[in-house]
Structures are given as C-alpha cells and as structure tokens.
Chains A and B, each alone.
Chain A
Amino acid sequence: MQTIPITQINVNDKRFCISYPLEDDILLASIKKIGIIQPLILLAQSPYIVVTGFKRLEAALSLGLANIPCIIVNIDEKNALLRSIHDNTGRLLNIIEKAYCIEKMLHMGFSKEETYEIMTLLSLNRHEKIIKRLLDIANADETMKNFILKKDLSMQNAESLLRFTPEEKNRIIEMLIPAHTTESVMREILRMFHIIKVKNGAINFSIMVGADNAYELKTRLKNLTHPILSSLEKGLKDIKLKCALPPNIDIKVDPFFEKEYIDILIRAKNPDEIREALIKLTGVLDVGYIGSIFGLAKD
C-alpha cells in the first residue's frame, strides 16, 4: 500500500465504476473523522485509473484531501472490472449498480456465459430479456435513476416506465414522486398509463392535474381504462349506501362483477343479532336494493 496525490488519478475515468450514487453521507462523515482506512485499488497507468473505491474518492474530493492511500495493480481491463464487481458484492447492490455491472461487462466483451455467471452472483435471472432490461436501466437518464432509487423500483416497473417517451416519463415521475405507492400499486398505475397510450396514441396528462395521491391517480386512470368497471363500482357503492346496512352486515360482490352470485356476511355474537340482521336484510331485499345488485353487470 502507498499514498499518492489525488492529482495522479484520472478522476473522470469511470470505466470500472459500478457504484450509484457516488455520494454517501455516512462514508463522508466517517472519512472526515478518521480518514480513508481501506485503500483504493488503482490500475497501473498514467494517470492512474480507479478500479475500486469510487465512493471513497468522491468523499476525498469533496473533503479536499490531497493524498489518498492506494494499492497499484497491473491487471488487464476485464480482470479489473471483475475485481470491481467482486469487491462490491459484499454489500447489497441496488438495481442500477447491478445494471452497471452487466452493461460494463458486455461493453468490455465478456462472453454471455461469463455475464450469466455474474448475473447469478447478483441474484439476477439468466435471461436475454433481463439483460435487455438492465441495459435500459444502465443507460437511463439521471431523473429516472434517481426515481428508481427513491422508490426502490423493481426491474419490471423500471422497464415499464422506460417504455414511455422521455416527456411522458418525466410527467409520470413528477406525478409519482410525492405519491406513496406499493410495488403493486406502482405496477397498476404504470400499466394503466400504458393502456391509455396504446389505445389513444398519447396520454392526456391534463386529466390527471390535481391527482395528488396514488389513490386519486389510480381512480382517474381507472375511469379511463375501465369505464364500465368504474361505473359498476359506483353503482354498487350507491346501492350499498341506500341499503344503509349496519357494520356487522356486508354484501360482497366479485371485484370484476364476474361471478353470478354475491356473498352476504353477517357477523353476530348471539342469535338476536342474527335475527336483527335478517330483518334488516329482508327490508332491503323487499325494496329491491339487493336485487338491483344482480342487475348491475347485465347489459
């Protein structure tokens, strides 16, 4: 190990960098307090090229350090990249970092089998389709990458988002950044945007203005992609309101109005509660409210 001036390193050469993002507040605080403990690995070239330690170098640069501990190695490019990848596999790589690994391997001419081996190491499925998704992610713009990280987007959702035009993608990201969404809600929302795009050729974003949470956004999108289902749901809601059933009685209808039957649930602690519930149900049955539920899905 030796210490060299940072000026001897080509800090812009990121050919072996798989870390994203490079900024790391905890590491910065640690280096500020006790300095760099683990040396960088540098490729023996003039100027030196970083093989591992990009985050440490970034921290050193932002702290204005003049010198940096390092180990100089004389290996070929492919081995340098493998070293960089293996050096990082000890921590949990995010999806962008995994994408970088694969993108750089392919760029440097690794064989498919070698790439698949690393994919297995990174817990990725060995499939052409996955490679394509990863390449798209690796080449995405910063807004997209930040969004992927912020929302911890799955590869499938990231790929889905990448299928939109840059303008559409940015509008969708803008709408989704403040929204609290689960992975499945995100998938549903993106799919609905896609359906609208395929059906209409474009997305009319003005309809979404003011949809400031995931539920509202989903509702508005659903009105466009599933107008009949939305109207059936509204119809059912209105009927249930008219029924004014107590909380211990519930009428369950198939969420897609497919099943020919409905379920009526009565929660009771004693026979009297059952009797009361049956009287109430008989009342709403007699005025035709329950019957009208069966008519909802018919033409």
Chain B
Amino acid sequence: MGLPKIDFVETKGNIVRDCPGTKNHICCGYKTIDLIEGCVLSCSYCILKGYINTPDIKINRDMPYILSQVKETIEAEKTHILRFGTGELSDSLALDGRYKLNRPLIEFFGDTKKALLELKSKWAYIDHLIPYLNPYTVISFSVAPQRIIDKEEKRTSPLYKRLKAARKAQNSGCFVGLHFDPVIIYEGFEKDYEYLIGDIGRILDLKKVLWVSLGLLRFPPRLFDRFLEEGRKNLLYGEFIRGEDGKYRYIKKERMKIYRMLYGLLKKQEEDLFIYFCMEREDIWREAAGLTMEDNEALTGLFDNRIKKLYGGNI
C-alpha cells in the first residue's frame, strides 16, 4: 500500500476548536488545533477512519493564521489554563521530521507562557525538535503493550522507542504526557499492561510526567462492521455495548475493573501521578479513582491545579 497523498491547504474558519468530547461523559476542556487532517500511521482502530472519508492528508500551512487563532483563544480564556493539542485529527509528530510544522507552535507557546501545547504521537522521532523544546510544550506518547502495537498499530514506532523519546524530551526540560488510549482487552492483557507500566517506571522520570490518560477502546458504529470484516480478534475480544453517545465501548462492569487495575498499577509506581479518564462517566471516576467528578468543569479544574503545582508561577 502506498503512502497517502499530502495536500497543503490554507483553511480559514475555526482551526482551533473545543475537543468534541462525548455526550453524558466527563471531558477535560481540551482545545484542538487542526494543523493536519489525516494520518500516515495505520492503526486498525483509528476513529479517523470513521470520520474522514479520504485517505489523503491535508496540512494547513497558514501558520500566522493558526497562531492568531491560538492567541485569540488564550486571550479570551479568563478562568483556566488552556491545553492545546494537534493530535486529534492526526498524529502530532509523524510528519514533522519532513514538514517541520511544530517548531513555530513550540516557539509561540514558549514565548507566550500562558498555555500548554501537547504534541501527542505514536511516532518516536523528536531529535529535530530538541533545540526548540521548552517547558510549555508537552511531548506525549500513546502507549500500549508491544503485542498490540505489532498487530493493531502498523507503521508506528515500537514501545521502547516511544519511551526513549519521552525520556529524551524529559532530559530536554519538557514535561511529558502518557496516553493509555485505547486500552484494549485481549487474552492476557492484564499481565502485558503490568509489564508496560513497569517499563514506564524504569525508563521515565515519573515526577516529570504531567498527566496520564486512561481510555478504554471505544469507536463509532461504522467501525464495528469494519472490525468484523477484517476479523480483528483483539479489538472484538471484550464485551461491547452502545454507550449513551452512540459509540461502542466495553461494558461498564469491565471498564471499572480495568480502570481500577491500571489506576492502581500506575499509582504504585508514583503516588503523585496525575491520572485522568478520557470521556468516562461520573461513577467510573468514583469507583476507579475514588474521586467525585461531577462535570467537565471539575475535571478542567483538576488540570489547572496540576499545572499550577508543577509550573508554580511560571504560567
């Protein structure tokens, strides 16, 4: 299979948006920057396949316009410390070695010092960014057991490279983020995740991990048929139900059990880790983390506190 076609566009309109979140689930108030639409990596579970009709990739090259939108958004926000990411409609780093898209963003956030930019990726090459990194950029990696990376995350970097790149980012003065998303249930997954978390504890400085997200596999209905057609045993191993938002997700009883396990394993590594659940329900928060999370505002507040704690008065 050839690589997708890359188109450079100058899209006007809203490049910076609220992360869409999901109905009746608690979301974190993230802001997305639609710098790239589409992805060169080939994850079998990728929800972009359900939303974007073309395999082509669009890169928005109008950086002054993008930065003006980011600036406007930061200035309009009076309550929270905003977190921006470019990894919603694409992988933040996969094309960066070639197109150098992130450098102006990294520099902008470093100069502004009022908000954070998160570069979320499964692609472990950050060497070209090292000279420009500053504490206002968070280098984040999605993590999964290598068994899942081999089968379901084709063309992505192996786990050890992702962790090594994260460590490199920490050594360059950045905080990093870790995203256990999607967590996939398959035969023997518990042990694999235990080893994975052990590896993370050995390789990274957990005091410099700004946040860790946990999100079990969820996907829109049209992907279910695709998984069936492609015979994705790993992806269909667990028991799925339709959530209130219409997406398929593991049945809550299972989700609670797994979140509790992962939360416990991570906290065992570092009690101070800031762990949040991506698009989950109030009772999952209560049961798995022992936290009362009434709404999105409460979670956004937790992020504010976490950032203030680690950045002190520097943001």
Which residues of A does B touch, CB under 8 Å? 163, 191, 194-195, 198-199, 201, 225-229, 232, 256-260, 297-299
Contact = CB atoms under 8 A, between A and B. Distances in A.
22 contacts: A163-B228, A191-B228, A194-B228, A198-B227, A198-B228, A198-B233, A199-B233, A199-B236, A199-B237, A226-B251, A228-B253, A228-B254, A229-B251, A232-B253, A256-B241, A256-B242, A256-B243, A257-B252, A258-B281, A260-B282, A260-B283, A299-B287
Contacts of B228: 163, 191, 194-195, 198
A225 B237 CA distance: 9
A227 B237 CA distance: 12
B281 A256 contact: no
Given A198-B228, A228-B253, A258 B239 contact: no
Contacts of B251: 226, 228-229, 256-257
Contacts of A259: 244
Interface string B221-253: 000100111011100110101111000000111
Contacts of B244: 258-259
Interface string B245-279: 00000011110110010000000000000000000
A14 to B, nearest CB: 32
Given A191-B228, A199-B236, A299 B242 contact: no
Contacts of B236: 195, 198-199
B239 A298 contact: no
A168 B233 CA distance: 19
Across the A-B interface, the 9 shortest Cβ-Cβ residue pairs: A256-B241, A299-B257, A260-B283, A194-B228, A299-B256, A198-B236, A228-B251, A198-B231, A297-B252
Place the interface of chain B in its size category.
20 to 34
Nearest to B230: A198
A117 B253 CA distance: 50
Contacts of A195: 228, 236
A25 to B, nearest CB: 38
A195 B252 CA distance: 19
Contacts, number: 59
Contacts of A258: 241, 243-244, 252, 281
Contacts of A225: 239
A298 B256 contact: yes
B241 A229 contact: yes
Nearest to B229: A163
A78 B256 CA distance: 62
Contacts of A256: 241-243, 251-252
Nearest to A255: B241
Contact of B260 (A199, A260, A297, A299): A299
B236 to A, nearest CB: 5
A191 B226 CA distance: 12
B253 A227 contact: no
Nearest to B251: A228
A298 B253 contact: yes
A201 B237 CA distance: 12
A297 B257 CA distance: 11
A298 B241 contact: no
A191 B228 CA distance: 8
Nearest to B231: A198
Nearest to B250: A228
Contacts of B224: 191
Given A194-B228, A256-B251, A298 B233 contact: no
Contacts of B253: 228, 232, 257, 297-299
The listed residue with most A CB atoms (<10 A of its CB), out of B227, B252, B260, is: B252
A227 B38 CA distance: 37
Contacts of A257: 241, 251-253
Contacts of A198: 227-228, 231-233, 236
Given A198-B233, A256-B251, 20 more contacts: A163-B228, A163-B229, A195-B236, A198-B227, A198-B231, A198-B232, A199-B237, A226-B251, A227-B239, A228-B239, A228-B254, A229-B239, A229-B251, A256-B243, A256-B252, A257-B241, A257-B253, A258-B252, A258-B281, A297-B252
